[in-house]
Structure 1
Amino acid sequence: MAHSVPPTMRAAYIAEYNKPYAHDESRATPKPGPEDLLIRVHAAGFCHSDAQALQGQFRTPSPIGLIPSHEIAGVIATTGASYQGHFKVGDRVGILNFKHACGTCPGCRLRKRSTTSNDPRFCDNRETAGFLHDGGFADYAVGDPETTVRLPDRMSFAQAAPLMCAGATVWGSLERATEGLAKGDTIAIVGVGGLGHLGVQFAKALGFQVIAVDSRQAGRDLAMETDNRSLQPDLVVDSSDPKTASEQIYRFTNEEGVAAAVVCTDSIAANRWALQLLRIGGTLGLLGLPPTPWQFDADVIVFKELSIRGSYVAGRDATERMLQVVEEAGVRSQITEIGYDRIPEIMELYEDKEFKGRLVVNMAG
């Protein structure tokens, strides 16, 4: 039986760029399309991309009036009139950001050659919740079954929400950067923030030796802040002195270098330096998007036969693999949870130099 859905709902929205979010206590509740799912939002995350949207920094700025947040976890309240899939009302789910693939554009056609599902990540006509279309800082949000995942029973909504972007982003890069590697190979996670601290835990859970690298003391501390000691890195390195850091990493790897490095920062210097850490045939996973273009060092790429791999979040299948590892290994995000009424303060909290981990809004209260 469908949940009773009210005609209006609470929502926070972008009222003006570079100003606090505003509240609307009577926003119209969205209507799910014929094949969609309507989710009662229980938790919604805030990350760097949300800050950029609020500041109007994207090439196509987020529209004024937009409901932000693209990290959404909740319960299915009702389904579209024509939906015949395996999800049902009451299921606990997470929503990935991209939805509603058109199925006919070049990106959709190329993806269909390698997967049986519609993968909206590369669709020219996709919807992007929290950026150009309404997201999760509201009581209800629309989900696409193709990018909706069922949550493990024991996973809290607050833990699940950051996994729908931060987790999926670093997981996707880690999977691509470590293709063909063996357990016991050494992986570097460069930049230990909201993504990096999950990347360290993921890599450890997958059986790799892990080096956590950050120039900030807060980042290095965060790498070790897990109750599960088996998910702590094997080595933590201060990269504020790149020469000393490189020497330390090469000593740890018997002078070979790391098999792969996933760079979770947009620092051009960090990306350039990370190439130097790779062993022969190693792979660099790019996640940060520097504000200005940068040039790769062709010499080290050619003479070491290095690979550079981009990764665009993770699709549904990869996210389901991630959730299984999270549940089995006990991976946890460090989160700060706030109530809906405090959403206007969220940028202030995010910009606090002492803040670590992920911000999550409890929308169920």
Structure 2
Amino acid sequence: MAQTTPNHTQTVSGWAAHDSSGEITPFTFKRRHEITGIITKVGGNVRKFKIGDRVGVGCLAATCLKCEYCEESQENYCDQVQFTYNGIFWDGSITYGGYSKMLVADNRYVVRIPDNMAMDRAAPLLCAGITVYTPLKDNNLVDTKGKRIGIIGLGGLGHVAVKFGKAFGHHVTVISTSPSKEQEAKNNLGADDFILSTNPKQMQAKKRTLDFILDTVSAKHSLGNYLELLKVNGTLVIVGAPDKPIDLPAFPMIFGKRTVKGSMIGSIEETQEMMDLCGKHNILSDIEIITTDQINEGLDRLVKNDVRYRFVIDIAGQSSHL
């Protein structure tokens, strides 16, 4: 089904995740969907954007535009959704994501980056940011203040969730298995409290103290102990990556009036809304910049949990092989 796209007017070069040493490393690099850049060309029917605009592209590359979800600006739930990476576009060509000098995108899936936001630090918000923003919005935590919310995990998603929680006026508790994360959570990100989930005394002391918990951990883990942290009528939301979504039909589940829900990415409308709020509140991802020839080093460090909190690839960097 894959083919050269006849109406693309520029050639795009890609690259593989290896270096000049010849050493083969066992990594599969399949996500290429948090992309920011400057518009260099627009189609004849594009009205929202112009050459020179600062924009970003997240997970979505195409949807059917006809179903009830697309018509209600919830195209992220479209049954025919195709992603920016490893998706099949309208003409049958495969989408390869952002590991290239340029990207052709349908303007319906492009968002504007506010002028006061650094492009590199804004990039992870196009997936990690919207992934944690959507459940906060769905549970009325964007426009209301004063709730006690917990964030499980302090990584690429969790650190953004902490920033959102604080910006929206909530008491934020980070819940982690790593004692070292306490100082990061409180001193660097402004969290109000920290719970070491492997410490039974701390978990017991915080029983029934949280109105809402956002679980950002990708590894398999039990929810039982975390549910005990919720107040009666509290809600726990599990977020899932777009290419490995939560089994949504199983949710919501009720445990003694506590609710467990699943969530994934948001719509383009919500993504633009989130990006505008990030500009208003000066919310940016904490990142490290690497060039394309440093990618194996970055992946090695990622395996060791040695990144705070996202690597961003500078495709135009001097060391780039593109």
Q: TM-score, normalised by structure 2?
A: 0.80
Match of 2:254 in 1: 301
Offset at residue 346 of structure 1 (A): 3.4
Q: Deviations over 1:79-104 (max 9, x none)?
A: 224x2321111100111211221123
Residues 142 and 168 of structure 2 are in contact (CA less than 8 Å); yes or no, is this contact kept in structure 1?
A: no
Relative to structure 1, is the Cα distance of residues 124 and 269 closer, same or farther in structure 2, using a 3 angstrom cutoff?
closer
Match of 2:290 in 1: 338
Match of 1:45 in 2: none
* Partner residue of 1:248 out of 183, 205, 214: 205
Using the alignment, how far apart are the partners of 2:11 and 2:293 within structure 1? 17
Offset at residue 181 of structure 1 (A): 8.2
Q: Does 1:12 align with 2:39?
A: no
Q: Does 1:192 align with 2:154?
A: yes
Residues 72 and 136 of structure 1 are in contact (CA less than 8 Å); yes or no, is this contact kept in structure 2?
A: yes
Using the alignment, how far apart are the partners of 2:315 and 2:142 within structure 1? 41
Residues 278 and 284 of structure 2 are in contact (CA less than 8 Å); yes or no, is this contact kept in structure 1?
A: yes
Q: Deviations over 1:134-186 (max 9, x none)?
A: 10111111222222111111211111111111111111122223459841110
Residues 76 and 89 of structure 1 are in contact (CA less than 8 Å); yes or no, is this contact kept in structure 2?
A: yes
Q: Does 1:224 align with 2:182?
A: no
Using the alignment, how far apart are the partners of 2:206 and 2:56 within structure 1? 37
Offset at residue 261 of structure 1 (A): 0.3
Residues 169 and 314 of structure 1 are in contact (CA less than 8 Å); yes or no, is this contact kept in structure 2?
A: yes
Residues 69 and 78 of structure 2 are in contact (CA less than 8 Å); yes or no, is this contact kept in structure 1?
A: no
Match of 1:213 in 2: 175
Amino acid at match of 1:350: L
* Partner residue of 1:279 out of 231, 242, 256: 231
Using the alignment, how far apart are the partners of 1:131 and 1:225 within structure 2? 39
Residues 337 and 360 of structure 1 are in contact (CA less than 8 Å); yes or no, is this contact kept in structure 2?
A: yes
Once superposed, which parts of structure 1, at least 4 consecutive aligned residues long, lie more than 6 Å away?
289-293
Structure 2: which 5+ runs fail to align? 1-7, 88-94, 318-322
* Partner residue of 1:128 out of 65, 69, 83: 83
Relative to structure 1, is the Cα distance of residues 223 and 142 closer, same or farther in structure 2, using a 3 angstrom cutoff?
farther
Amino acid at match of 1:347: L
Offset at residue 246 of structure 1 (A): 2.1
Relative to structure 1, is the Cα distance of residues 341 and 170 closer, same or farther in structure 2, using a 3 angstrom cutoff?
same
Aligned to 2:132, what secondary structure does the other structure show?
helix
Q: Does 1:55 align with 2:49?
A: no
Using the alignment, how far apart are the partners of 2:206 and 2:307 within structure 1? 28
Match of 2:90 in 1: none
Aligned to 1:280, what secondary structure does the other structure show?
strand
* Partner residue of 1:86 out of 19, 38, 48: 48
* Partner residue of 2:35 out of 52, 64, 72: 72
RMSD, matched Cα: 3.1
Q: TM-score, normalised by structure 1?
A: 0.71
Match of 1:143 in 2: 105
Match of 1:167 in 2: 129
Q: Does 1:235 align with 2:197?
A: no
Match of 2:68 in 1: 109
Structure 1: which 5+ runs fail to align? 14-19, 24-50, 57-61, 63-67, 251-255
Using the alignment, how far apart are the partners of 2:150 and 2:213 within structure 1? 5
Using the alignment, how far apart are the partners of 1:292 and 1:174 within structure 2? 17
How many residue pairs are counted as aligned between the two chains? 294
Using the alignment, how far apart are the partners of 1:354 and 1:86 within structure 2? 40
Residues 98 and 121 of structure 1 are in contact (CA less than 8 Å); yes or no, is this contact kept in structure 2?
A: yes
Relative to structure 1, is the Cα distance of residues 306 and 339 closer, same or farther in structure 2, using a 3 angstrom cutoff?
same
Offset at residue 292 of structure 1 (A): 11
Relative to structure 1, is the Cα distance of residues 136 and 78 closer, same or farther in structure 2, using a 3 angstrom cutoff?
same
Aligned to 2:68, what secondary structure does the other structure show?
helix
Aligned to 1:301, what secondary structure does the other structure show?
strand
Relative to structure 1, is the Cα distance of residues 77 and 137 closer, same or farther in structure 2, using a 3 angstrom cutoff?
same
Alignment of 1:23-42 (within 5 A): none
Amino acid at match of 1:277: L
Aligned to 1:77, what secondary structure does the other structure show?
coil
Offset at residue 282 of structure 1 (A): 1.1
Relative to structure 1, is the Cα distance of residues 221 and 69 closer, same or farther in structure 2, using a 3 angstrom cutoff?
farther
Using the alignment, how far apart are the partners of 1:202 and 1:359 within structure 2? 20
Offset at residue 268 of structure 1 (A): 4.2
